[in-house]
Amino acid sequence: MKVTVFGIGYVGLVQAAVLAEVGHDVMCIDVDETKVENLKKGNIPIYEPGLTPLVTKNYEEGRLNFSTDARLGVEHGTMQFIAVGTPPDEDGSADLKYVLAVARTIAQHMTSHKVVLDKSTVPVGTAEKVRAAMDETLKSRGVEIPFDVVSNPEFLKEGAAVADCKRPERIVVGTDNEEVVDLLRELYEPFNRNHDRMILMDIRSAELTKYAANCMLATKISFMNEIANLAEHLGADIEKVRQGIGSDSRIGYHFIYAGCGYGGSCFPKDVQALIRTAQQIGYEPRLLRAVEDINDDQKQKLPQYIARHFGEDLKGKTFALWGLSFKPNTDDMREASSRVLMEELWKRGATVQAYDPEAMDETQRIYGHRDDLRLMGTKEAALHKADALIICTEWQSFRAPDLEFIQQTLNQPVIFDGRNLFDPDRLSRRGFTYYAIGRGASLKQAS
């Protein structure tokens, strides 16, 4: 099937590569010429396991192509994906200018029926706006060409995007035209083999499904962070509580890890956007507000522990920081807890010696060269002459460190762990002062 994807960002590129891999003929269009040229040379702009070989192979085999020529893109695909960004505007609502610009471009160049699929995370009602923008453009051209607009949200996780896209748990399709369903079945047939993963619904419900999914997951995390804060004061251990409640199959083990706050390109933005949507229709979303507030506070947790241990003034202090990305297996630093932490430490006069397996270049890009940030080549090097170790991201390679080496290398054996990687008793027996999230007993010993 001929497919065009507008927007070679995270979602667009992964979706395009996976569709090409199963045999579709995919053309990706982006306004960024450098990005397009780089992709043709096999230089992938993001780090995502398995993506580079997938893109390169399908490009070389001719099923995946890249261009800046929008007209070419519109001519190419029966299916036209919109996968451009929806950054938050000043008040936190999703900004639709890129989505609507693509809609107009499609209408500008189309000469036959097209199915336009919204892959970007867009507020309820966007499909109608896409339709209106296209209608207007077609009218100005003085032509009448039929088209359909479908909501087809993406649920992939960074770090597992290729795997998620190859084996989706569900394919949500919102349409008001039964006749396009056959085309969508053909498009997604390779992903639908063992059992039907397609969930058909009306357009508005599909649009809301995407926000509801991300907000539910963010709610689980903020809920656990709230319980962690209670555990800390009550002398209980959130890790024990997590196991205790996760074993209830109605609750489950996923997304109940307390920590130093959620980040990334989705949760913070989507919670905020749904709050704005609710307010626009005169509904006060109390739960979503609390989810957001708790998360903002949670990102201050590590700076608070550090102040408790070292005092507010951190001039002359150096901190080893393990983990910069907002979660493991990505170099993405958007809304990462590490950023809030570093900025707090710098405000108080400290120096940060940071290490991350993938996000070093991204950190450099964001913060440039500054005297109070040292990017270190290994996690061991980051410890050198530091006053304490801080952990912000649960990379696998941080889970079983050489405790003796840490103890000998740090000025004092102090660890602030934002991801609860270690057993507090074991660390305390080994002579460490260990601050972790919601681990009441150990925190009492630490302070």
- Binding site for NAD(+): which residues? 30, 35, 86, 121, 158, 269, 334
By CB under 6 A, is residue 263 in contact with ligand UDX?
yes
Count of residues touching ligand UDX (by CB under 6 A): 19
Give the separation between CA 400 and CA 180, rounded to whole angstroms.
52
Window 99 to 138, contacts with ligand UDX (CB under 6 A): none
Residue 255 vs 346, nearer CB to ligand UDX: 255
Window 70 to 89, contacts with ligand UDX (CB under 6 A): none
Task: Please select the residue that binds ligand UDX; options are 266, 275, 389, 421, rule is CB under 6 A.
Answer: 266
Residue 120 vs 214, nearer CB to ligand UDX: 214
Give the separation between CA 321 and CA 360, rounded to whole angstroms.
12
CA atoms 418, 420, 425, 427: torsion sign: negative
Closest residue by beta carbon to ligand UDX: 266
Query: What does DSSP say about strands 351-355 and 433-436: parallel, antiparallel, or unpaired?
Result: unpaired
Contact call for residues 151 and 128 (beta carbons, < 8 A): no
What track of x and - describes contact with ligand UDX for positions 190 through 229 (by CB under 6 A)? ------------------------x--x---x--------
Contact call for residues 305 and 445 (beta carbons, < 8 A): no
SS3 content of the chain, % helix, strand, coil (to 5): 45, 15, 40
Exposed (0-12), middle (13-18) or buried (19+): which is 88, by Cβ within 10 Å?
A: middle
By CB under 6 A, is residue 255 in contact with ligand UDX?
yes
By CB under 6 A, is residue 14 in contact with ligand UDX?
no
Residue 155 vs 191, nearer CB to ligand UDX: 155
Cβ at position 437, least distance to ligand UDX in Å: 9
Residue 104 vs 157, nearer CB to ligand UDX: 157
By CB under 6 A, is residue 326 in contact with ligand UDX?
yes
Q: Where are the beta strands (DSSP E) in 42-156?
A: 64-67, 79-82, 114-118, 147-151
Q: Which residues are annotated as a binding site for substrate?
A: 155-158, 210, 255-259, 263, 327
Residue type at 235?
A: G
Task: Please select the residue that binds ligand UDX; options are 264, 401, 418, 438, rule is CB under 6 A.
Answer: 264
Residue 19 vs 333, nearer CB to ligand UDX: 333
Task: Please select the residue that binds ligand UDX; options are 262, 305, 355, 435, rule is CB under 6 A.
Answer: 262
Residue type at 86?
A: T
Query: What is the phi-psi region of residue 385: left when phi exceeds 0, alpha when psi lies from -120 to 50, beta otherwise?
Result: left
By CB under 6 A, is residue 48 in contact with ligand UDX?
no
Give the separation between CA 444 and CA 188, rounded to whole angstroms.
54
Which residues does 240 contact at the CB level (< 8 Å), separation at least 6?
A: none
What track of x and - describes contact with ligand UDX for positions 281 through 320 (by CB under 6 A)? ----------------------------------------
Task: Please select the residue that binds ligand UDX; options are 157, 197, 204, 348, rule is CB under 6 A.
Answer: 157
Residue 4 vs 420, nearer CB to ligand UDX: 420
Contact call for residues 316 and 387 (beta carbons, < 8 A): no
Contact call for residues 76 and 4 (beta carbons, < 8 A): yes
Binding site for ligand UDX (CB under 6 A): 154-158, 214, 217, 221, 255-257, 259, 262-264, 266-267, 326-327
